[in-house]
Amino acid sequence: MAVLETIASPADLRRLSPAQLDQLAAEIRTFLVQSVSRTGGHLGPNLGVVELTIAMHRVFASPTDSFVFDTGHQSYVHKLLTGRQNFGDLRRREGLSGYPSRAESVHDIVENSHASTALSWADGIAKANVVRGLHDRHVVAVMGDGALTGGMAWEALNNIADGHDRRLVLVVNDNGRSYAPTIGGMAHHLDTLRTTQGYESMLSWGRRTLRRSGPPGRVAYDALHGLKKGIKDVVAPQGMFEDLGIKYIGPVDGHDVGAVERALTSAKTFGAPVLVHVITEKGRGYSPAEQDVADRFHAVGQIHPETGLPVAPSRFGWTKVFADEIVSIGHARPDVVAITAAMLAPVGLAPFEKAFPTRTFDVGIAEQHAATSAAGMAFAGLHPVVALYATFLNRAFDQVLMDVALHRAGVTFVLDRAGITGDDGASHNGMWDMAMLRIVPGLHLAAPRDEATLRAALRTAVDVDDAPSVVRYPKGSVGDAIPALDSTDGVDVIGRETHDVPAGADSPRKVLVVGIGSMATTALEVSSILAAHGLDTTVASPTWVLPMPSMLVKMAGEHDLVVTLEDGLAEGGIGALLGERAGQAGVRVPVHTVGLPSAFLDHATRDQIVVANRLTAPDVARDVLDLLAR
């Protein structure tokens, strides 16, 4: 019988022999490759933490002891060991989440998949345990070395170091990578720890040498003390953590269950904050991932498990358009530089980095620093382009507002995966950006509808030198081109349906349908349905929606009803802003806003989310007809 099939809870792990543990690790890797290749998901990170997760559950008693994963995409093994082995619908509606989920298990705590937060969570839980007198409970935070590039992690470390009565174990899962090789001073520090041999053997050599040199005395003591300090500074730079007041254990082979267990047991008995430095290999045990140098297996779609190749090649995507256009802009504009937050390839900056390596800056998982550093670059004469997933700009709102906008800095933010992303769940839907950014004074925001408008928007954005500019686009492939029938003052008309009116008959009511960004196609479909019901319709698609185009307000006043469609929040979004601007201009026209609710959306496909929130063309048209009937 397979060992994995006998594991219903973490307690079952404690009866296994070393040989059975090795067999379990191999079975888990086979299970992950076979399952994730069918559903898609985060494969590489989970293959790397198999033995580490087994050891954690053997040493600590979850859920009494709290496990916090940073980020949660490395929690698949944790799910398997806590009774969740049905991966058939992973990341699909009503199936397992791709991240920890409180709805799934008492063993899960933090659902947010934004990085560098686990230490703050762990600090808070550990403080609460002390206040409540729960001195037998431990908190274990597992974070990748990439997460240590985030400033929030260091804010937490500063506080954790002061908590000598807190039973807190910080596991640094060091594989030298996040989405890509980890960068910065922290990475170099961990590299040194990873490659040095420890200083105790050198210290023993020093003691033997001093003993042979004569009787001990003050000179010999001073020499030994100096030797110890010098050796430690050179070959044991863990002193950085210990100088903070955090005991350091490691480096430990993260693929040796016994070694990890011994390190965690030592940390558990210490009774104060301990950092356990574990060395792992991303993609361990799966040949295509082990040989990968581009981190293609960090997250995968459906793949052939034998080769790791995609089942179906992806269509030309929005990210690829950006990647191509920003290189062209870079050739024409030597002042344009690119900034990424540990996601060079996912956001499409790898070609720019290849063409302009000295003009590309990976700041690590540090969106706040990226934004303010960009403001500094703008002050010094450059035009920075900061490329992020839309969901991660949330983390840097204060910097966009107070460092970029307040100082009228010419910085362009390019937001990949804006709108509905679906299967990664609530924390990854890029649905907050337009409602959030519309309150930033002077900010320009573009929501292109196709390849041509994206390329044009990027070129316009980098010409804005006295305010932040934003270009957002969705996840996935680019649809067909949507040409403009005509364009006036920045507002494209992409569709028009009119009816001949017999003499003496009433004119049809006129509806303006505004399709924002990727919703332009849906807007055209809505227009066709409404026209079939006898309405005259105009479909507008403004690429630049912030500041609100005055022409769009004027067009609104020429119709009996305005319908706006956006893949962001309806409440406080662009449609709501159009209604406000129309009212301020004395334009008395009802504005029906269609968008996403102010709610966290469960993981599902994009189409399922669209249907569930009545964003399909038939649903929108039906609601409009009902509204007109009333």
Strands 412-416 and 444-446: unpaired
Q: What is the pLDDT of residue 415?
A: 97
Report yes or no on 179 lying in a domain. Answer: yes
Does 554 lie in the same domain as 459? no
Domain-located, residue 477: no
50-103 per-position pLDDT tens digit? 999 999 999 999 999 999 998 788 889 999 999 998 888 888 888 888 888 888
| DSSP H stretches of helix in 271-383 | 287-290, 318-332, 350-355, 367-379
Domain shared by 94 and 216, yes or no: no
Query: Under a CB-based contact definition with an 8 Å cutoff, are residues 279 and 253 in contact?
Result: yes
Counting residues of the chain whose pLDDT is more than 70, the rounded percentage is: 87
* Domain shared by 232 and 262, yes or no: no
481 within a domain of the structure (yes/no): no
Q: What is residue 70's predicted lDDT score, i.e. its pLDDT?
A: 85
- Section 452-469 average pLDDT: 98
Average pLDDT for 591-612: 91
- Shared domain for 407 and 525, answered yes or no, is no
For the stretch 346-362, pLDDT in tens is 999 999 999 999 999 99
Return the structure tokens found at 594. 């269609």
Nearest by Cα to 173 from 257, 78, 279: 279
Mean pLDDT, the chain, rounded, equals 87
Residue 478 lies in a domain: no
Which domain covers residue 217, as residue numbers? 199-236
Q: What is the mean pLDDT of residues 556-583?
A: 96
Show the tokens assigned to 308. 């790791």
What average pLDDT does range 589-609 have in this prediction? Answer: 91
Residue 480 lies in a domain: no
Compare 576 and 230 and report the one with higher pLDDT.
Answer: 576
N-terminal to C-terminal alpha carbon distance within the chain? 66
Say whether both 95 and 70 belong to one domain.
yes
Does residue 382 sit within a domain? yes
Residues at the binding site for thiamine diphosphate are 73, 113-115, 146-147, 175, 286, 367
Query: Could you count the other beta carbons within 10 Å of the beta carbon of residue 332?
Result: 9
Rounded to the nearest 10°, the torsion over CA 234, 237, 240, 246 is -140
Q: Say yes or no: 245 and 322 in one domain.
A: no
Taking only the tens place, the pLDDT of each residue in 162-200 is 878 889 999 999 886 544 555 455 455 555 555 454 544
Task: Please tell me the total count of domains within the chain.
Answer: 4
Q: Is residue 299 part of a domain?
A: no
pLDDT at residue 329 tops 90: yes
pLDDT score for 374:
97
CATH number for the domain including 497? 3.40.50.920
Residue/partner pairs of 580-588 with CB below 8 Å, 24 or more apart: 581/548, 581/553, 582/553, 582/556, 582/557, 585/553, 585/557, 587/553, 587/554, 587/556, 587/557, 588/557
Crossing angle of helices 218-235 and 200-212, in 10° steps, is: 160
Residue whose C-alpha is closest to residue 278's, from 257, 293, 296: 257
**Mean pLDDT over residues 599-623, rounded?**
91
Structure tokens at 625: 């007809």
Q: Return the pLDDT at 451.
A: 96
Q: Could you tell me if residue 307 is inside a domain?
A: no
So what's the pLDDT on residue 235? 47
Same domain, 132 and 191: yes
Instruction: From 472, 502, 519, give the residue that closes a domain.
Output: 472
For residue 347, what is the domain's CATH number? Answer: 3.40.50.970
Which of 472, 501, 532 finishes a domain? 472
Question: What confidence tens digit (pLDDT) does each residue in 249-273 have?
Answer: 989 999 999 999 999 999 999 889 9
Q: What is the pLDDT of residue 179?
A: 46
User: What's the pLDDT score for residue 126?
Assistant: 93
- Residues 326 and 385: beta-carbon distance below 8 Å: yes
* Structure confidence at residue 518 as a pLDDT band (50, 70, 90): very high
In this structure, the answer to whether residues 96 and 141 fall within a common structural domain is: yes
The binding site for Mg(2+) consists of 145, 175
Percent of the chain with pLDDT over 90: 61
pLDDT tens readout for residues 1-43: 599 999 999 999 999 999 999 999 999 999 888 888 888 888 8
184 with 36, same domain: the answer is yes
Q: What is the pLDDT of residue 630?
A: 83
The Cα 180–Cα 364 span in angstroms is 10
Residues 526, 547, single domain; the answer is yes
Same domain, 218 and 266: no
Residues with a catalytic annotation lie at 282, 367, 395
Feature table: binding site: 73, 113-115, 145-147, 175, 286, 367
| Rg (the chain; Cα; Å) | 28
Whether residue 150 is found in the same domain as residue 33: yes
User: Angle, to 10 degrees, between the axis of helix 18-39 and the axis of helix 50-59?
Assistant: 130
Give mean pLDDT, residues 266-286: 89
Of 419 and 40, more confident: 419
